[in-house]
Amino acid sequence: MRQGRPPLIIPPPLQPGDAVGIASPAGPSAPSLLRQGMALLKAWGYRPIVGRQSRRRKGYLAGSDRERAAELNDLFTDPEIKAVLCARGGYGTMRILDALDYEGIQRHPKIVMGFSDITALLCALHRHARLVTFHGPMVTGLPTLPVSVQNRVQAVLKGDFSLRIPLPKGSKVPSGKVAGRLIGGNLTLLSHLIGTPFEPPWEGAILFLEDCGEAPYRLDRLFQHLRLRGIWEMVSAVLLGSFTGPGGKGLPVSLIRSFFSDIPTPVWTGFPIGHGRRNLPVPFGVQALLNGNQGLLQVDSQP
């Protein structure tokens, strides 16, 4: 954390019977998938409440920019709502970042979870509300995830933010320990936030990345953008999650590693996040320890 910045705000855990707001800051959701996700939340003992835009559509967006921003602002200020989970990604979150009430969000901190296009929201809430959020599954995708991932989502909602993830063999992680705040998400969104008021603080971060549907040359361009920004020299380590090409075909790990062949930063492949079935919730902005001696990434339960 930069010197002089206010401390992070840790959102309170959910209690049985709490209301969970479902937001759509980007694209519209398929009604059947939304119903299935809501049914699972009910089975976990919560009361899902759909925001005003989660069943609407305006082209590739879930309503106008003003409507989607108002939905998020309302879900945060509503005292009945105790957490805000995103219905899905798609595209459009960047369009509403400058219309959010960050002071109001600070006054009403709540658990927020999403990934992919929602990366933009996580970065904005970190920079302007100092809120600990979660890069993780969204409501429409919850029912299809492995039980182990669903269990971790439930643990997060109950206030357990801890992580203990083994490092896979063959990663470029040296012996010793690397500490830093977990910052990251979708590579495309992070690249497009560079130069905006919502660009995340890179210095000393443990940077995690994922993306889907991008051809190798497009991934190369995105990684080169981060390189030219000087990010590889600023971060403490890089954790690479799931990367797929057009049509959802998995990209060779050797190709992904080739983009990092000439950088000094420790790089770990196989981080269990992204558009695949292994998409563990990761606390955004909290301090983590990457232990090369033990082969472990660790976050304490109290960030």
Mean pLDDT of 235-253: 88
Cα–Cα distance, 48 to 135 (Å, whole number): 19
pLDDT of residue 149: 97
| Cα torsion 150, 151, 156, 158: sign | positive
pLDDT of residue 173: 57
Report pTM.
0.94
3-class secondary structure, 282: strand
Mean pLDDT of 15-27: 97
- Locate 220 and state its tokens: 């190369």
Q: Write down all domains in the chain, each with its CATH number in brackets.
A: 19-157 (3.40.50.10740), 163-299 (3.50.30.60)
Which has the minimum average pLDDT: 40-49, 154-163, 284-293?
284-293
The predicted-structure confidence for 262-301, as pLDDT tens digits, reads as follows 888 888 888 999 998 899 999 999 999 998 778 789 998 6
Q: Which of 116, 191, 236, 242 is catalytic?
A: 116
Task: Check if 126 is active-site.
Answer: no
Starting at the earlier edge strand, list the strands of the sheet with 177-186.
163-166, 296-299, 287-291, 177-186, 206-211, 237-243, 267-269
pLDDT of residue 201: 96
The predicted-structure confidence for 55-75, as pLDDT tens digits, reads as follows 678 899 999 999 999 999 999
Task: Check if 135 is active-site.
Answer: no
* CB-based contact 37:102 (threshold 8 Å): no
* C-alpha distance across the termini of the chain, in Å: 13
Q: Which of 29, 54, 135, 210 is catalytic?
A: 210
pLDDT of residue 2: 45
pLDDT of residue 172: 59
pLDDT of residue 222: 96
Across all residues in the chain, what is the average pLDDT?
91
